[in-house]
Structure 1
Amino acid sequence: MPDTVKTYLPAIPLQQRLKPYAFALALGVLVIFHAVGLWGLLFSGEPEKFQKLTPLNLLLTNGLLFAFHRRWNLPFALFAVVVMVVGFLSEVVGVHTGLLFGDYAYGEALGIKLFDVPLLIGLNWLMLVYTTGHLVKDTPLHWLGKAILAALLMVGLDFFIEPVAMRFDFWDWAGNRIPFSNYAGWLGLSVLLQVYFQRGDFYKQNRLAPYVYLVQMLFFVTLYLFL
């Protein structure tokens, strides 16, 4: 008599089935969203509409980035909070005193402000420290050398961001001139935060981090070249 008993395999949850494709999907979303933003700012004829999407772009990028961070523990949470708070407060000091970076003021493109500084600025500092820190953490340099190199990568990206920021209402410099103090201030503060990253006792593996920095660099370099 034939065996009519069927063997049923347990259903695999959708989340588990999609897991092997999560990285490719996240990278695709990251690239597509930035490509659309690039087209909108340069070629749509209505850049103002796409400027308003800047906060969404930043939130989406960080959401994808930190979705690939593993081992969310107290040391990492403390690092994230410290970097965001220090980054935000340094901008508050900068905007109101001209110290650290120079004489500048934020526009409306980056969303809701507190003390004349967009709330998302702290998150932007965290993203930059985190991604550049990942880029250099496996180099054979001493931890201080890694911190300096990562800080230079941050300043290198800022070099291309600054003219774009003035064009698209992120922030404006007095006299429409970007002072050397901006880059010196960025470098000094970035080194301090990178030392924290390199010496911090938390997990530092994120496959998406280098690509976030690369996409950001390509995005702003392209805008810079078309200005």
Structure 2
Amino acid sequence: MEFSNLPAPPASTGRLRLAQGLVLLFHLTGFIGLAFSQDKAFYLQYTPLTLLLTVGLLLIFQPGRNLSFWLMAMQIFLLGMVAEVVGTNTGLLFGHYIYGATLGPQYMHTPWLIGINWLMVTYLGGILAAYLPIPRLGRILVGAILMVGLDLCLEPIAGRYDFWHWTGDVIPMRNFRDWFLLALFL
């Protein structure tokens, strides 16, 4: 995915600052609540809302939301969902794992929010890589590495918060390989 021709959103508008503040507030509240609260379930119940708010604000503030942009967003969502449905139902992609209840309603053992998460992570990785003054292939590689880096951070805590669980509580290396390959494609 190529984001290098996208202009940066206007960083000085009041609406953008409000949106950034809301996203920061939601994520910071969740982080503090999960790290220090005795009632982690209270904070976990807002995980779907936080993810939906974040992707919604990303899409609202995306400049140039034309048909091409929406088709790209839908393609990423669908490919992410298909990859995860294949993964959860066969183990062919990523390894053998199941999703918990935290991420909300599921289709074929896969939360709908996972498709949205693939969209958000791909979008953010692409935007961050687009700022680098390197050739297109380098930006694609960096975007994929950023996505795998996020997965590396999430994997150790995913089971604790009932996001997903690996068979035998072992994260297979192929998970990271498959994330990288899918990220390159997206």
TM-score between the two structures when normalised by the length of structure 1: 0.75
| Superposition deviation, residue 141 in structure 1 | 2.0
Structure 1 residue identity aligned to 2:16: F
Aligned residue type for 1:132: G
Tell me the percent identity.
Answer: 45
Q: Where do 1:49-88 residues align within 5 Å?
A: 49-88=42-81
Q: CA deviation at 1:20?
A: 2.8
- Matching residue of 2:9: none
Is the counterpart of residue 96 in structure 1 residue 92 in structure 2?
Answer: no
Once the two structures are TM-superposed, the CA of residue 36 in structure 1 deviates from its matched residue by 0.9
Secondary structure at 1:45 match in 2:
coil
Of residues 97, 109, 117, the one that matches 2:102 is 109
Partner of 1:127: 120
Alignment of 1:4-15 (within 5 A): none
Give 3-state SS (helix, strand or coil) of 2:98's partner: strand
Note the C-alpha offset of 1:170: 0.3
Give how far 1:41 is off.
1.1
- 1:26, CA displacement in angstroms? 1.3
Q: Tell me how far apart the structure 1 counterparts of residues 162 and 106 of structure 2 sit (CA, whole Å).
A: 14
The higher radius of gyration belongs to: 1
Q: State the secondary structure of the residue aligned to 2:18.
A: helix
Q: Distance in 2 between matches of 1:23 and 1:76?
A: 20
Aligned residue in 2 for 1:223: none
Query: Residue type of the partner of 1:50?
Result: Y
- Paired residue type of 1:155: V
The match for 1:141 among 116, 134, 143 is 134
Letter in 2 for 1:156: G
> C-alpha offsets along residues 145-174 of structure 1, whole Å, 9 cap, x if unaligned?
111110000000110111111110000001
Does 1 or 2 have the higher relative contact order (CA < 8 Å, sep 6+)?
Answer: 1
Q: Offset at 1:25?
A: 1.2
Equivalents in 2 of 1:84, 1:28: separation in Å?
26
Is 1:156 the counterpart of 2:128 in the alignment? no
> Secondary structure of the equivalent of 1:172?
strand
Paired residue type of 1:106: Y
How big is the shift at 1:22? 1.4
Structure 1: any 5+ residue segments left out of the alignment? Answer: 1-18, 194-227
Q: Who is 1:198 aligned against?
A: none
Q: CA deviation at 1:107?
A: 0.3
Q: Which amino acid counterpart does residue 161 of structure 1 have in structure 2?
A: L
* 1:84 aligned counterpart, secondary structure: helix
Structure 1 letter corresponding to 2:80: G
How far apart are the structure 2 equivalents of 1:26 and 1:150?
24
| C-alpha distance in structure 2 between counterparts of 1:94 and 1:188, whole Å | 14
* Structure 1 residue aligned with 2:181: 188
CA RMSD for the aligned pairs? 1.1
**Whole-Å Cα distance in 2 between the matches of residues 74 and 64 of structure 1?**
18
- The one-letter code of the counterpart of 2:13 is P
Q: Normalising by the residue count of structure 2, what TM-score does the alignment of the two structures yield?
A: 0.91
Number of aligned positions between the proteins: 175
1: CA distance between counterparts of 2:40 and 2:76? 31
CA distance in 2, matches of 1:188, 1:77: 23
Shift of 1:188: 0.3
**Partner SS for 1:191:** helix
